Structure 1
Amino acid sequence: MNLRSLVSLTALGALWGASFLFIRVAVPQWGPLALIEARCLLAGAALWLVLRALHHERPTWRQQGSVRHYLTLGALSGALPFTLIAAAELRLPASLAATLNATTPLFALLIGASRGQERLTARRGVGVFLGVGGVAVLVGLSPVRPDAPLLLAVAASLLAALCYGLGGVYAARHFSTVPPTAVAAGQQLAAAALLLPLLPFAPPPELPGARSTWSVLALALPCTALGFALFYRIVAAHGPATALTVTFLVPAFGVLWGALLLDELLTPSMLVGLAAVLASVVLVTRRPGTTVTDMTSEAEGPSAVASNPVAIPTARDVPFRSTRIPRSTHRKR
């Protein structure tokens, strides 16, 4: 990986790590549903406009079953996990939420093993137990008092990670031949469509101020839309295995931004828990004899969901491609 790509990967980790910060700032005034509706709608519209401007393939809704598939993926990889994370951050610090989200590859492994698609080896078993231990350390020794609301928030974060794992399996099965950026745009727009009917039942609890509104814009545009653009650029240049090493950067940046910008308390136990969770991800996703940047264990299969707020699906043995629509098809004859 050259310096330019390394900078892009670091920027991607910083953006996706910052998304937890923006959620933490905006969710008290917007509420989980309104916040995620705005995020998905703005990000999906931005991605759609970029695809159209570049004359790349956009999500197709007319093919049989495509609407149902996009709605299912939008629920599993967008509406449900995004809303669960936002609800959890009403109680959790951004740094803790970002670290809990790093358990996504662990859930993806367990899902694959239950379907007979993955082998739960001794090394991977140790990784799962290490991840569970890291979560226990984070929750038990966190700076927030471990009461019932905190435990519910932790459960919501872990359920969001499970949803990402399920979304990755579903995407690998139904979107293997669709360009990833088109899948991302369709996923975000489908999530927005699913959440829209629920808004009257859960409106923003108060009138959002300027700070929370800017946070929503930052969450939707730089963190989600621009983040996807950076991710797919890295995928195109180096493949999904290298791009998915962002898994290790997102929680680190989440902890960093929370401590620097929100004055969240950073304790030694949190660092121990973070290290345990990241080590577990290495054990689960790394094949024997490979380095971290060469990991391919599930980078192109059901576990192809980076521990980030936007579930990244890429199908096994289907290389990244960006389909350009001929300009002539856009002209009136």
Structure 2
Amino acid sequence: MSNRDLIIFITLSFMWSLSFIFYRIGVPEFGSLVFASLRVVLAGLTMLVFVILNKKNRVGIRENWKVLTLVGLFSAAVPFILFAFSARSVNAGVLAVLNASVPMISGFIASTFFKDRLSKKQILGLVIGVIGVMILMSENLFGGQSAESGSGLLSMGYALLACVGYALGANITRNYLDNVSPVAITAGSLLIASVIMLPIALYEFPYGKSISITAWVSVVCIGVFSTAIALIFMNQLIKSIGPVRATSITLVIPIFAIILGYLLLDEALDTPAIIGSMVILFGTYLSLDLSFKKMLNS
């Protein structure tokens, strides 16, 4: 993993962590399903600019539209809808732990269907990372989850299916779109997902309800920066370091989310958060097969 890939990895972690802040602001006013739909639609409109300005992107999309349709479904449309339904009854702590299962699922898919073998060090790192997320979210997981608030198996099943979608989309990208640019992959998949999500946004939109400027800014930011631009970085990582190592970013996102929550939302920074963060960082270090010596010498 090059220093450039590591910088992209850290930057992407930060960008996706911001989505938690945007969700906190926008979902109460738009509703979870509309917010998720608008996120994809705005991301698709953003990527439309890249398609219009660059002929190579148009060619890449036209020649690979069937595969890009699958990526758009599995990596954006379906997971966002499933998480929207799941978030209605499952608290954020449980969702974060479930989301951290993506690299494990990705590793299973890669090794089973695409013969992309993981080293023992990487497998150990993924397991340690998941344990760290569980420590990080231990209070939310075990401290106040009532039956009413949503520990239902069906709702958690929605979130796990979303994680399967993320993992499958990442593996399809790596194995079938290797010769397509990250921008074309992102543009094609998001434009196709936008066509699917637009009717949902129009049908479920809270017409007649006053939506604040802050909420509109949050949905624009999550669509443009935390989805469109972020997915360009993600597709670049998938092509560069593989789907399993790239999706291990889901282990790091909770750390940034907690820091941002502490700085911007006055949320508590407790001992489990600190311990869990250290465990996650160690697990991610192993799963990415990093070497401090190589990094310093490169």
Distance in 2 (alpha carbons) for counterparts of 1:87 and 1:293: 45
1:182 Cα deviation from its structure 2 partner? 0.7
Q: Which residue of 2 aligns with 1:134?
A: 132
TM-score, with structure 2 as normaliser:
0.75
Q: Which residue of 2 aligns with 1:308?
A: none
CA 37–275 in structure 1, closer or farther in 2 if over 3 Å, else same: same
SS, match of residue 145 in structure 2:
coil
Q: Which residue of 1 aligns with 2:104?
A: 106
**Mean Cα deviation higher: 45-54 or 81-90:** 81-90
5+ unaligned residues in a row in structure 2: which ranges?
none
Superposed, 1:30-41 pairs within 5 Å as 30-41=30-41
SS, match of residue 58 in structure 1:
helix
| Identity level (%) | 27
TM-score, with structure 1 as normaliser:
0.68
Distance in 1 (alpha carbons) for counterparts of 2:89 and 2:268: 14
Superposed, 1:7-86 pairs within 5 Å as 11-58=11-58, 62-63=62-63, 66-86=64-84
How many residues get paired? 285
Distance in 1 (alpha carbons) for counterparts of 2:55 and 2:176: 23
Distance in 1 (alpha carbons) for counterparts of 2:54 and 2:254: 32
1:200 Cα deviation from its structure 2 partner? 6.1
Report if aligned partners of 1:88, 1:154 keep a CA contact under 8 Å in 2: yes
Question: Residue deviations 1:298-317, cap 9 Å, x none?
Answer: xxxxxxxxxxxxxxxxxxxx
Q: Which residue of 2 aligns with 1:314?
A: none
CA 285–203 in structure 1, closer or farther in 2 if over 3 Å, else same: same
1:145 aligns with 2:144: yes
More helix by share: 2
CA 5–81 in structure 1, closer or farther in 2 if over 3 Å, else same: closer
1:44 Cα deviation from its structure 2 partner? 1.7
Report if aligned partners of 1:40, 1:192 keep a CA contact under 8 Å in 2: yes
Q: Which residue of 2 aligns with 1:225?
A: 228
CA 202–13 in structure 1, closer or farther in 2 if over 3 Å, else same: same
CA 54–195 in structure 1, closer or farther in 2 if over 3 Å, else same: closer
Q: Which residue of 2 aligns with 1:328?
A: none
Q: Which residue of 1 aligns with 2:185?
A: 183
Off by >6 Å, runs of 4+ in structure 1: 4-9, 91-96, 292-295
Q: Which residue of 1 aligns with 2:263?
A: 260
Distance in 1 (alpha carbons) for counterparts of 2:280 and 2:114: 25
**Mean Cα deviation higher: 45-54 or 277-286:** 277-286
Report if aligned partners of 1:130, 1:280 keep a CA contact under 8 Å in 2: yes
Report the residue type matching 1:78 in the other structure: A
Q: Which residue of 2 aligns with 1:163?
A: 165
Report the residue type matching 2:256 in the other structure: F
1:105 Cα deviation from its structure 2 partner? 1.9
Report if aligned partners of 1:95, 1:255 keep a CA contact under 8 Å in 2: no
Report if aligned partners of 2:40, 2:197 keep a CA contact under 8 Å in 1: no
Superposed, 1:259-278 pairs within 5 Å as 259-278=262-281
Report the residue type matching 2:19 in the other structure: S
Report the residue type matching 1:280 in the other structure: G
Report if aligned partners of 1:16, 1:250 keep a CA contact under 8 Å in 2: yes
CA RMSD of aligned residues (A): 3.9
CA 119–192 in structure 1, closer or farther in 2 if over 3 Å, else same: same
Distance in 2 (alpha carbons) for counterparts of 1:268 and 1:59: 52
Distance in 1 (alpha carbons) for counterparts of 2:176 and 2:119: 28
Distance in 1 (alpha carbons) for counterparts of 2:293 and 2:94: 25
Q: Which residue of 1 aligns with 2:219?
A: 216
Distance in 2 (alpha carbons) for counterparts of 1:215 and 1:293: 40
Q: Which residue of 2 aligns with 1:172?
A: 174
1:46 Cα deviation from its structure 2 partner? 1.4
SS, match of residue 265 in structure 1:
coil
Report if aligned partners of 1:95, 1:258 keep a CA contact under 8 Å in 2: no
Distance in 2 (alpha carbons) for counterparts of 1:263 and 1:169: 38
Distance in 2 (alpha carbons) for counterparts of 1:123 and 1:231: 23
Report if aligned partners of 1:18, 1:223 keep a CA contact under 8 Å in 2: yes
SS, match of residue 151 in structure 2:
helix
Report the residue type matching 1:269 in the other structure: P
Distance in 2 (alpha carbons) for counterparts of 1:95 and 1:60: 39
CA 9–74 in structure 1, closer or farther in 2 if over 3 Å, else same: closer
Report the residue type matching 1:262 in the other structure: L
Report if aligned partners of 2:126, 2:248 keep a CA contact under 8 Å in 1: no
**Quick one: which of 174, 195, 198 aligns to 1:196?**
198
SS, match of residue 267 in structure 2:
coil
Report the residue type matching 2:197 in the other structure: L
SS, match of residue 115 in structure 2:
coil
